[in-house]
Structures are given as C-alpha cells and as structure tokens.
Structure 1
Amino acid sequence: TAPPLASDPLIALPAGPSAGADWRIRPVPEPEVYGAGVATAVARMWRGEFSKVVLARTLELTSGAPLDLPGMLQRLARRDPSGYTFALPTGPERTLIGASPELLVSRHGNQVVANPLAGSTPRSHDLAEDVRRAATLLESVKDLHEHAVVVDAVHQALAPHCTGMTVPARPTLIRTATMWHLSTTVTGTLSSPGTSALDLAMALHPTPAVCGTPTRTARQVITETEPFDRGFFTGVVGWGNADGDGEWVVTIRCAEAEERTLRLYAGAGIVAASEPEAETAETAAKFRTFLSAVGAEL
C-alpha cells in the first residue's frame, strides 16, 4: 500500500496541466430538467411533505484516448491538498476516483470527530468577490438553517455512542479550489471501545447532507427525481484497522471511471428557500473540481 497523498512533499507543488483530451460531455439530466426537479421539490416542501432533499445530476464524459487515472489523482490532490483524495477499484476495469472535502467520522482511540458540511457557494477568481461570497454564506439564513439540520442529525446519531460531546453553536468556513462550505467540527469521547469507526459511520449514514429530512421521504423523492443510479456517489470511503480506529469520508466530488468514460456526480441541498437556477449553478461549480483535473469545461 502507498502512504497517504497528504504526506507526499510534492503535494505542495501546483497541479500540472491535464493532457487536454477531446472530451464529449453529456449532462444527465439536462440542466433545465434538473432545475424543474428542484422546483417540484420546493413546491412539495411548501406543502409540508418534507423539509430537505439532496438532488444530484451527472455528467457523462467520453474521451478518444485511454484515461490517465494516476494523473487525475495527482491533480485532484494538488488542487485540494487538505481534502481526502481517493481511487479504488469498484469492478472489472472500473475505478471510483475523487477528492472529498467532507469527513463523515473518524475514531482514534476514544476520540471521535465528525465534520459535517452543508451550505455552499461557488468561489470567485476575483479576491474581493470571493471574500464577499464567503461573508454572505456565513450570514445566509437559508444556508445556516440547512447546515443546522445536518449538525443536529450528526449530534443525535453520535450521542448514544459518546459519553460527552462538543457541538459548536455556529459554523465556520472551509474552502476548496472551487467552493466555500459551512463547516462544523463535532467531537466526542467514545463510551465503548468495542464501537469501531465503521460502526459510527454506519450509524451516521446517510446524513441530511447527502439525503434529506425525513430520510425515508427524501430517499423516495430522490428515486422519483434522479434519472440515474447514484452508485457509490454519496456513500462512504475510508479505512479501518483491527483496533477499531479509522477515517470515513463522504463520497462526493467524485467520478466513476470505466475504459474511456467518466461519470461525474454533483448534488445540492434543496430546502424551501432554494431557487432552481442557484442550485443548478452550485452543482456546476462542484463539477469544476473534477473537470479541471481532466482538462474539460462545461
């Protein structure tokens, strides 16, 4: 096995240019269809059927040349060295590859950490505009509510497994190369040494950050709205050892690679205050993480 990419001293170097493949890109669904799905979900929320759902869309990329997966992995890691970059086989000639910013849960000894993210806004190349967007996100009633729902769910799921927990009252900000996210670091002390990191991940998943509230209804809305199978998207990827320690991250900012094709995934948390155009733009911004690693543009 290889050491973590974050320990590679070359990770601090700028990402090299992509090979510049000639990509054919097909959105599934089309942006207009995705926006209509968001509008329908919002209307149902105003009728009181549920309070949040995470709706995703995909991009199917086809290249005329074989995929350079090691090169993609290095570019993903160097663009966001503080994130969680991964690549693992999921079937014959199939690979799940991505760079997740979100730690679902870790366990080291009796210390438990979860870092839910919910509430996002795209970065800007203009410094002043980028700072303005970050400040606006920190004060956004819509995004703060969306974030609070996720943090409460994480707290409730971990509480039975911990003797004490610390849950900050307000979120902070984290950034990736393409997005600002509201972030809360939840910590706790494990009550039983027999509870592994994977046990904790199973207790947490799926959080409202990838599914919705209430969970059963949100799952049904996702099934009715998304015209594709999520596969490993919004699952978990990580590691665990015989002592029960481990780290599990949410499988986002990812793609499934097979021969000369990539299927990219991006989702957005939809609440009653959501606007279809804004949520479509947010998913487009999240696609940029992977598009930049392969030299493609929407």
Structure 2
Amino acid sequence: MVVSSNSEVFVLSRPHGTVRGGGIARTYTDVDEASAALRAGEIRSLTGAIPFDVRDRAALVAPARLAFDPSPLAGSAPLTRRAISTVLHPDADEHRERIAHAIKRIVAGDVEKVVLARSVDLLLDQKVQPLELLDALAGGNVEHNAFAVDLDAATGSGSWLLGASPEVLLRKSGSTVLCHPYAGSAPRSADPAEDEATAKRLAASAKDLAEHAFVVDHLRERLSHLCDDVDAPSTPRLQSTGEVWHLATPIRATLRDPSTTALDLALLLGPTPAVCGTPSDVAGQIIRDVEGERGFYAGSVGWCDAAGDGEWMVAIRCLELAGDRRNLRTWAGGGIVEGSDPQAELDETGFKLRTVLNALGIAELP
C-alpha cells in the first residue's frame, strides 16, 4: 500500500548510534513482499516489526527518509504513571501449571526446550506519548537501547511497539554479520555482594548453560547456510541490564554473497530458541496452543537500507501501546528445559517485566 506521511514512524537507539525512519512511502504486512521489493530496488530502505510467527501480519514501512545519528538517545528519567487496572494472562497458578506441563513434554522427549511467556494488560491513570516513553526506556539501561515502531500505517491499529531489548538478532555491514544472543538469566540485586554471587551462580548453572547452548547452536547452523567463518566462543559471557543478568555470546560470520540483506537474515535466523525453543516447529506449536498469537512480542524490530545493511533486535522487554495512549500490553517469558523449576520461572517473568514498569515509574502492580 502506498501512503503519505511526514511523521516519525521508527526509531532504534543502540550504543553505536540511532536510526530514525520518517515519512511513509509504502507499507507491507507480508514479509516476503517486503523482501522482494527491497531486493528489486523498488524501495530504498525498510523499517518496522516482524511478528513472532511470520505467517501473521507484519508492520513494515518503506520510509520516505532514513536518518543516522552516531549517538544513542540521551534518555530521560522514568515517567510518573500509575496503573489503575491490571489483568494477567495467565495468573500465577496457571503459568506454573503450563510450565509443569511443558517440563513433562520435555521429559517425554517431545521437545528439548520451549519458551513460555505471560502478558500483563495495564490501564494507566494518564496518557503516555510514544516518544516520551521511548526516551524513558533509553534512560533505563547503560547502553541506551530502545526502539519505537508505529504500527498504525501497516495495521490501522493506532498502536506503537516500544521496548528496550538488549538482544541483537543480527547486525549486517557489507559481508560481515554479527549476532549477540541472550539466553539464561537471573535477577540483579541492589546489594553488590549478592549481585556478584548471583552472576557467578548463573555463569556456573548447568541448566542455564544448556539453555544458552541451544540458541548458539541454532544460530551457527542457520548462518552456515549463507556464511563462512562462523565464529562463536565456546563459553558465554555475563551481560547485565538494569534488572537482569544474562548469558550472552557474540557471534561473527562472513557472508558468501554480500547482496544478502539484513532482512533476509532476520527471516532466516528468527525466532531463535531464546524466544521459541527447540526443535522450533514443535516449540512454536506448543506456544501457539498455549498462548495463542504472540503478535510482535518475541519477533524482531529493525531496519535495512538499499545496500542490504541493517540491524534487527529481538523484540523482548517491550510493550504495545494502544491508540488511546492509556492501555498497553507488556510481556515476559522464560526458557523451559528439563531442569526448570516452575516457581523460579514464574519469578523470572516478574523481574523481566521491570524494564517496562520502571520506565513508566510503576513500582508495584495493583
């Protein structure tokens, strides 16, 4: 669809700079159609969001202009909103039951890992504008990671997808591809000694190391179809956000054909076992059966230019802000493997939700 607009429709802030998409030349809800248009040179660039299940509607825009700033967003202090209504999907008891059932499926050999998420619907006491929330999200982490995608042009919903994902699905420049998967996590502590002890436990956790290995192996295998010299350290690093310790592995590869686009790679690599599971077809079906459609949560958000270069983030630590600017939905999930504990996995969703809640200034849910 061809449309016309001069407003900002996309922002991605990263430590190495900020990309902004403004104005709308075309919109795409089908990822294959968007990819074909980019390859054919019909559009100069593409920004937006790919859903968790690519069979669902995408929100991709060919912007009238794509601007690059070498600095990340400065960020701002948290907002001062209050949640006057909260609905959990599902409640704590049902989420623990879902996890216990998933563990039985894993023990039975049906699947090796599955990522189960829960969502929270909030009604705010005051409206929040997308770009002010974007700034608060950027101010909530040391790397100033933040993204905002206007979903209205592609979906007609009037909503925005916003978040502060720390996880790079891929970054492509010329023939070089960089990935930085996150899997395995633990809550940060305000007490320095406890925080350090938590990080050490995570680095030594057999359960979390196994969960992380699924993701790295998936990316190695997928990248090998298009790349040479796929290099990934054998041991993950500890990475932290304001709320969470993660296991993370930097991966570097060289494309055989540099004309492969960042969008091509995003469609090849995602969703990874970090947000889906393994085998991906079985895990994906379990997720659809249990959760229903995820929409853009755990999909990917990013951009691609005419040269095929670009960057796509995994859409986690995010929310969808409705057109009325008071209703929103946010999500958090965790990877379930044989050694998972239902209560610990439930707790994990709680500390991951803090990224969005902290940006809004919400200390506690009703």
Name the TM-score, length of structure 2 as normaliser: 0.77
Contact 2:233 2:251 in 1 (8 A): yes
Amino acid at match of 2:115: V
Where does structure 1 lack aligned partners over 5 or more consecutive residues?
A: none
**Which residue matches 2:180?**
115
RMSD after superposition: 1.8
Contact 1:83 1:100 in 2 (8 A): no
2:239 aligned with 1:178, yes or no? no
**Aligned mates of 2:95, 2:244 — CA distance in 1:** 20
**Aligned mates of 2:89, 2:298 — CA distance in 1:** 17
2:304 aligned with 1:240, yes or no? yes
Structure 1 66/174 Cα, relative in aligned 2: closer, same or farther at 3 Å? same
Contact 1:110 1:191 in 2 (8 A): yes
**Aligned mates of 1:291, 1:176 — CA distance in 2:** 14
Specify which structure has the higher proportion of helix: 1
Q: Percent identity?
A: 42
**Which residue matches 1:99?**
164
Structure 1 26/196 Cα, relative in aligned 2: closer, same or farther at 3 Å? same
User: What does the per-residue CA deviation read over 1:217-243, in whole Å, with 9 as the maximum and x for residues that have no partner?
Assistant: 1112112222x4311001111010010
**Which residue matches 1:200?**
265
2:101 aligned with 1:37, yes or no? no
Amino acid at match of 1:84: N
Contact 2:83 2:122 in 1 (8 A): no
Contact 2:149 2:162 in 1 (8 A): yes
Name the TM-score, length of structure 1 as normaliser: 0.94
**Aligned mates of 1:83, 1:233 — CA distance in 2:** 20
**Aligned mates of 1:214, 1:12 — CA distance in 2:** 40
**Which residue matches 2:352?**
286
**Which residue matches 1:65?**
126
1:44 positional shift:
1.4
1:83-98 equivalences in 2 (<5 Å)? 84-91=145-152, 92-98=157-163
2:234 aligned with 1:159, yes or no? no
2:212 to 135, 144, 147: 147
**Which residue matches 2:339?**
273
Where does structure 2 lack aligned partners over 5 or more consecutive residues?
A: 1-7, 19-70
> 1:208 aligns to what SS in structure 2?
coil
Higher RCO (C-alpha under 8 Å, 6+ residues apart): 1
Task: Count matched residues.
Answer: 296
**Aligned mates of 1:286, 1:22 — CA distance in 2:** 18
Amino acid at match of 1:186: I
**Aligned mates of 1:162, 1:215 — CA distance in 2:** 21
2:318 to 241, 254, 258: 254
